[in-house]
Structure 1
Amino acid sequence: MWLSSVLVPLLRLYLCGVKVLFYQMFNRSFTLPVLPKQNGRVAIVTGGTRGMGFETARHLASLGMHVIIAGNEREEGTEAVRKIHEEGGKGKAEFVFVDLTSLKSVRQFAQTFRDRGLPLHVLVNNAGTMLVPERQTEDGFEFHFCLNYLGHFLLTNLLLDVLKKSGKQGCCSRIINMSSATHYAGVIDMEDLNRRICYSSHGAYSQSKLALVLFTYFLQEQLTAGGFAVTVNAVDPGMVDTALYNNLWSLAQALKKPVAKTLFRTPAEGASISIYAAAAAEMEGVGGCYLYNGVKTQSSDLSYDSELQVKLWKKSCELVGLQKA
């Protein structure tokens, strides 16, 4: 049991990491094209107080967007807004508190936003965590599963009507889900999504990132069938030098430091994929993609399993208290 539930997910995740590093060793980071101005458009970026989330929020604001940084660190949020406004762009930035590990907090955030009567043109589901020790949220969910996936699943669904109303043919609203190459190592156990039988932080993280890709494809299919002007894409930033790696075990942490300086992407480079998906003219009307280094890429075979997509959607609706329809 231990071998299959703990050691195998660890080895599969680190193998994914090695493959990504080899790619980044021989390939330059994606360079953003000139992006059209986004004046009057509104964006929400979760986890936008630092790292890739901050770089995404900063860049979208520089294009003229009104960017709402959604996070759970108030001081960091205030500082992020100050930095963005200091740059003197035409956009606007503000911080609004949300704890994605609390379904109550997610509902409060969504309701507060809806009450303001603002449109919503871009939702970047960026916030995430990696390899934290076993812990549960206040609602009893495994931490990776809730923060990386389930909180974003609920947030997206609660704001979906606003996104639908804000999008128009030729000017779609856009949803961007931050996945990772580790989704290739992920498996979904519908009977143990909270991984209580035998916990593995590596398996939990990979599962959460695979869930985001499954969610992306299923939601895009439903939006297309309904004729709504909303697109959904999953993005993979590669290996980026952020605080996400702070929970690596000691040996991996020691090996990571010298490697990160030469092979890891910077937060700005990692954020370029989210920014591209959120604002590029080439992405207008394009959804259901897995984007890596600026290119539509084949995700894992499991992520295209339509039956699994449906099962995960229905189970997720049940877990967060949404009607399956």
Structure 2
Amino acid sequence: MSVILFIVLIVIIIALSVALYQKMTNAICTSRRRLDGKTVIVTGGTAGMGLHIATDLARRGARVIVACPFEDEGTNAKKHIVKETGNDDVVYKHLDLGSLQSVRQFAADILKTEDRLDVLLNNAGVLVPGDFLTSDGMNFIMQVNYYGTFLLTLLLIPLLKKTGKPGEASRIITTASVTHRVAKIDIENLNKTNYWKRYEIYFNSKLCIVLFAHELSKRLKGSYVIVNNVDPGFVGTRIYDSANKTFGSIVTSASKILFKTPWEGAQTALHAALDKKAGKVSGAYFMNCKRIQAAKQACCDKTANVLWEESIRLVKLTEDDVEQFLQ
């Protein structure tokens, strides 16, 4: 029994040491930049980390558009942000990244109603809710986390290019994950069901996000639009509930204590959206408000280009469409 107690004590000491180290090293966005007259979109900006990001940007005076597929959540988020910040220029719009039609409708609405877009923050995503195909014929996790974001970003590039100017580029920020480092790129099988473990699909989707930013940054070179990745770390949000409600609650609580709260997880995205130096680089990877190196496989030009071509096909775009967006 004494041996068991000793082991438990050691585990507790290690856990507390990890928690202390994490809390001491979690970086905070220090920018005091105002965003009056600017427009930002935060996908998944209605809950968890995204809600903290949207609230912070609204507090800085931006016109904030939050997007998610759940009307009640979106409406409540809008009310919360307005109440917290005193900024009435907050809009909720419906967006289901698991539907190409929804993405196209959302983008068309934005292009019709907005005259500028300074920051597109692609924050929305799912963990492991299920391994099935959407009506568009894509794996659900892959479509929500990657393909939907891929299409949305390309459709909004004309407005981002219209807004960006010398010394103040428009910014595209994609939420990546440390798990991209252990993912596998198997282009032919990315969308298969009953092929990968669900957590592997999530890992793969995050690697695709980083590869997308790598390729897009090259194609946007010379324009006043930049694209960067942010790695929030392990954050205690409801995303873990999709694995199992009980498991999700435990992991969420543990993540908040040992790693990051949603507010702490939001800081690197805010840094990428606001920091002056971060606004001068493209294709970069940020973690804890610092630029670090992404995984080697996420920086492969050949892989990124093959994935780009396959993604264009799957979201039903043509090369002419893409050229028109990027011109």
TM-score by length of 1: 0.88
Return the offset for 1:321: 1.3
Decide whether aligned partners of structure 1 residues 87 and 22 sit closer, same or farther in structure 2, where only a CA change above 3 A counts: closer
- In structure 1, the partner of 2:304 is 309
Report the 3-state secondary structure (helix = DSSP H, G, I; strand = E; otherwise coil) of the residue aligned with 1:175.
strand
Amino acid at match of 2:234: M
* Bigger radius of gyration among the two: 2
Report the 3-state secondary structure (helix = DSSP H, G, I; strand = E; otherwise coil) of the residue aligned with 1:232.
strand
Of 187, 192, 209, 2:189 maps to 192
Return the offset for 1:250: 8.0
Say whether the 8 Å CA contact 2:174–2:229 is kept in structure 1.
yes
Report the 3-state secondary structure (helix = DSSP H, G, I; strand = E; otherwise coil) of the residue aligned with 2:317.
coil
1:114-158 deviations in Å (ceiling 9; x for gaps)? 111421110000000002221221211111110000000000000
Correspondence 1:77 to 2:74? yes
Of 126, 132, 153, 2:150 maps to 153
Of 199, 204, 207, 1:207 maps to 204
Distance 2:227 2:207 in 1: 15
Decide whether aligned partners of structure 1 residues 64 and 184 sit closer, same or farther in structure 2, where only a CA change above 3 A counts: same
- In structure 2, the partner of 1:7 is none
- In structure 2, the partner of 1:36 is 33
Report the 3-state secondary structure (helix = DSSP H, G, I; strand = E; otherwise coil) of the residue aligned with 1:281.
coil
Distance 1:245 1:261 in 2: 12
Amino acid at match of 2:296: D
Say whether the 8 Å CA contact 2:120–2:172 is kept in structure 1.
yes
Report the 3-state secondary structure (helix = DSSP H, G, I; strand = E; otherwise coil) of the residue aligned with 1:235.
strand
1:249-292 deviations in Å (ceiling 9; x for gaps)? 58965863663342131111101111111112232222111101
Say whether the 8 Å CA contact 2:126–2:145 is kept in structure 1.
yes
- In structure 1, the partner of 2:233 is 238
Decide whether aligned partners of structure 1 residues 25 and 215 sit closer, same or farther in structure 2, where only a CA change above 3 A counts: same
Distance 1:263 1:311 in 2: 38
Amino acid at match of 1:103: L
Correspondence 1:323 to 2:323? no
- In structure 2, the partner of 1:11 is none
Which stretches of structure 1, 4 residues or more, deviate above 6 A after TM superposition? none
Aligned pairs for 1:100-249 (under 5 A) are 100-196=97-193, 198-224=195-221, 227-248=222-243
Q: Structure 1 unaligned runs (5+)? A: 1-17
Return the offset for 1:32: 1.4
Distance 1:24 1:315 in 2: 42
Amino acid at match of 1:148: N
1:153-180 deviations in Å (ceiling 9; x for gaps)? 0000000111011000101100000010
Decide whether aligned partners of structure 1 residues 255 and 84 sit closer, same or farther in structure 2, where only a CA change above 3 A counts: closer
Correspondence 1:98 to 2:95? yes
Say whether the 8 Å CA contact 1:69–1:95 is kept in structure 2.
yes
Return the offset for 1:248: 3.5
1:271-314 deviations in Å (ceiling 9; x for gaps)? 11111111122322221111011111111110011100000001
Report the 3-state secondary structure (helix = DSSP H, G, I; strand = E; otherwise coil) of the residue aligned with 1:220.
helix
Does 304-313 or 132-141 show the bigger shift?
132-141
TM-score by length of 2: 0.88
Distance 1:100 1:137 in 2: 11
Decide whether aligned partners of structure 1 residues 87 and 204 sit closer, same or farther in structure 2, where only a CA change above 3 A counts: same
Distance 2:21 2:74 in 1: 31
Aligned pairs for 1:15-54 (under 5 A) are 25=22, 27-54=24-51
Distance 1:209 1:176 in 2: 13
Q: Structure 2 unaligned runs (5+)? A: 1-14
Report the 3-state secondary structure (helix = DSSP H, G, I; strand = E; otherwise coil) of the residue aligned with 1:87.
helix
RMSD: 2.0
Decide whether aligned partners of structure 1 residues 25 and 171 sit closer, same or farther in structure 2, where only a CA change above 3 A counts: closer
Does 133-142 or 303-312 show the bigger shift?
133-142
Report the 3-state secondary structure (helix = DSSP H, G, I; strand = E; otherwise coil) of the residue aligned with 1:36.
coil
Say whether the 8 Å CA contact 1:62–1:91 is kept in structure 2.
no
Distance 1:258 1:157 in 2: 36
- In structure 2, the partner of 1:264 is 259
